[in-house]
Copies of this chain bind each other. A is one copy, B any other.
Amino acid sequence: MKPEIAKLGYISLVSADLEKSLVFFKDVIGLEETEQKDGVHYLRAWGDFQHHTLSIEQGDRGYVKHIGWRTKKEEDVQGFKELLEANGVPANNVEAWATPGIGSSVAFQVPSGHTFQLYYDVERPPVDEHRRSVLKNQTYKSWAKGVSPRRLDHVNLHTSADSSDTYSFMENILGFKMREFLANDAGDILAGWMSVTQLVHDVALVSRPETPTKARLHHISYWLDDSQDILRAADILRENNFDFVGPGKHSISQALYLYVTDPGSGCRVELFTGSYLIFEPDWEPIHWHESERAFGNTYWGDSITNKELVKETIEAL
């Protein structure tokens, strides 16, 4: 049986200014710290159930080390290793718990050059009593500090490479389903929103021939429950002297968004709500034509220009 991915797990981030990144992610965005080990800080939102959804450490420049994905079953980790190798993609075993909270995994590069790591086993450390939610189905108390998103939502990857290989790879090897896409007259997919879950996307891939290096991360995205949470986030960010793009609403995915950049790593964070869920097993991917790019990106509100989209990505290698 084919191995399957269950969900996006975490992003492993390197910051050129760790102190700034920690203020940004912990005090302003409001993530909680699970643990700190060997100089790496492991963070998550109050409604994340896993050990961490973001790790940050000091480096000489900001970039993304890899992106973690959890498989549906334990045997899927080695199942993917075999499948990848059978398809000519080198895949390396990574020792269990080398990353705190994350069991044995398999690392490889997708054709776009981004590094993915697949794991199944996880550790779930208990939460200190004063930070623990009074709800049994929630990890931390909500609204403890800053913007206070509920959970990690998705990642948005940019690549300068021909991305048709990547789309095939994502669909055929990794099992992602295309949910919405933007294509030109020639039928080339310029951007695709794909998921293994019922979200419209766990990952978006955007072709940007002009990016300085092949594998870039446009943003990671954290989910908030209500539209007004995004407006409150805008107030909090301004009071803390952050520039941002939004609020606005995408036509593609129907999500309300706000984009702000971590001043330490250069990693952009999307604060995100709304959108819709896909339960239909025979979902027909929504086809947006290149001429609809602006409308697809911005149903209404403040929006990011194409120029900014490219300039503000960080390397994902």
Task: List A residues at the B interface (Cβ < 8 Å).
Answer: 6-7, 47, 49-50, 70-73, 120, 133-138, 141-145, 150-151, 180, 197-200, 225-229, 231-232, 234-241, 244, 246-249, 251-254, 256, 274, 276-277, 279-281, 286-288, 299-303
Contacts and interface: CB of A to CB of B under 8 A. Distances in A.
Contacts of A281: 6-7, 70-73, 120
A40 to B, nearest CB: 23
A35 to B, nearest CB: 20
Contact of A225 (B227, B251, B252): B227
Contacts of A302: 248, 300-303
Contacts of A246: 301
Contacts of A303: 302
21 contacts: A6-B280, A47-B276, A70-B280, A73-B281, A120-B281, A134-B238, A135-B254, A135-B299, A136-B251, A136-B286, A137-B252, A138-B254, A141-B239, A142-B235, A150-B276, A197-B279, A226-B227, A226-B228, A247-B301, A301-B301, A301-B302
Contacts of A299: 135, 238
